Amino acid sequence: MTIFRYVFLSICAVAELLLFLFGLTGFSVGESAPLGMVLAITVGAAVMLLITLVSFYKVSKGSKFPVLQGFLLKLSVLIMALGISWFALDIPEAGWIGVIVSIPLAALSLLLPRLSEGNNVKKNVIRPAEIPAFDKDKAEWAFDDAAAEYLRLQGEGIRLDTQEGKKAFADRIASMSESEVGTIYDYAGTPAAYFLGWLIRRELVSDEYLAIHGTGESQALASGSVTPIEIFRNMDYVLAREDIKLGARSFVDQYYRYEKGIMPFSHSTHRYFFDYYRVFCSGSDVPRYYCVDFDRNGFEELMGILDRRYRDYNDCILDEEEMVPDERKLKCRYFDTEAELWHEPGTPADYVQMCADSFENMGDHLCRDMSECLVEYCTEELSDAELRPENVIRKFEPSKLVVLRPETSIMRQDAASVPAYVILGGSEWEEEHGISFTVIGEYATGCAYYADAQSPWEEDMQWNYMIRRDRENGRLCAVSVIPERFGGSSAADNQVTVPVAAARRKNEADIMVEALFTLGQVQKYDCKFTYHEGKPNYLFMVARNGQETVFADSIRLL
């Protein structure tokens, strides 16, 4: 199809060039050819030739409608030129017809891309909502929820969905002792207190905060002589934006907020309340969110998670400017070009060498993985021979291999023993943006535009690696499609066999939904599997509150 477009445009270019030259000869004819007619033909031919050249460029970039759009626009220009010529020949009736016909044709050609947008998936880009800035968090705002949870755990469940229940609840609060009210304030402020404790320990509080509270709190927290809840109590249970260091505020804006924005929550939606719930509330005998007594071990675990969230936020996209070039250039039998070797400062030399060896000795498994990713960028129909991995992979030209410092995560403890790197390069199938591959071991765990290259230490990349590895190594286990705590049964028809890592990933999703249930944000949870050749290949999970989708996620199992 593309070849046909190039041939058609070439024919048009030749015809328009001849017409332009014909127009130029009209200037030498003298008075036998009206000047208006000569100008109309010459200028019209030049404009049509320019449109053809623009169409050539758009076709080379993969634009879908440049030939049809350009043809309609050139037809409009041609009719307009003829109309002006007829005016010059003193035939005004024909001239007006030409002008009137050319205008709607020009409008149609300009509207064509917009009319095609509804059928073009690539145009349907969801723009992220503007993130509201964090202002403050007060225990007072959560007091009623914490009080209702406190009374429920005390066996005093009061329904708040009736006027009588609301009055009984208000009366019960009014009758509480000062000590009991203080306990509930402590519980209402517990989530914020743990977050404040992390800010203090990691020196992410502002100079204004330190001027008021001093510099000894971090050591006191580390030694255990004071708890984050006690510190928050002394702040009148208020965490304000001014208490946070300037460089950390954008992270707090994104991570600490509760709102889900325009997209449903998913495993990649990192929010503080999910991480807090997973550490302190998941698995409780009775559902709870606020009424959690201080747990030092839990605080240390949560701090480790917050450290990773903060690091991932600051290093969410591979920054080439921070990498160090190596003198070596790497050659792989699957590619026609060599790749420069780069690495992150502080990366062990033996790890860099291991990754370089992995690339140069790339096996058929990784070649097939990368080819399956790469073919998604192709817009043409390919024959079976062209789809062979060794043929597809040559459509990619690596320019850099980037090795990042290995990190040990809560998911993987063998990080330094497995090569993990990013391959950056270009392809004739994606000339504008370039392509990047994230590689862990013998798996291409991610493929994206060059500028959106993903670190192999991102959670999504780690999960993809572990699920693929467990699947191919036969490490499988049975999981409940709908867990019993969400109304599922223990019967065989509610069980499915998946890779062990996928079962862990699903459990994390279940905990996120459990948190939303506990906070009253969802009412129903559905999980469904799709199958390929008799094996589950995708798991889809959806949690809704009425008709609103609050949580939606999927896990690739093959």
- Whether the Cβ atoms of residue 456 and residue 439 lie closer than 8 Å to each other: yes
Give how far Cα 322 sits from Cα of 183, 342, 351, 405, 419, Å: 49, 10, 18, 12, 20
d(CA 323, CA 330): 17
The secondary structure of 79-106, three-state, reads HHHHHHHHHHCCCHHHHHHHHHHHHHHH
Q: Give the residue among 416, 450, 419, 406 at the shortest CA–CA distance from 432.
A: 450
pLDDT at residue 120, rounded to an integer: 40
pLDDT computed for residue 318 by the predictor: 60
In this predicted structure, what is the pLDDT of residue 315?
67
| Predicted local confidence at residue 128, as pLDDT | 45
pLDDT in the model for residue 349:
93
Residues of the chain under the 50 pLDDT cut:
1, 116-129
Please tell me the predicted confidence (pLDDT) of residue 316: 55
- Domains of the chain with bracketed CATH: 2-123 (1.20.120), 136-314 (no CATH), 320-457 (no CATH), 476-556 (no CATH)
| Other C-beta atoms lying within 10 Å of the C-beta of residue 178 | 7
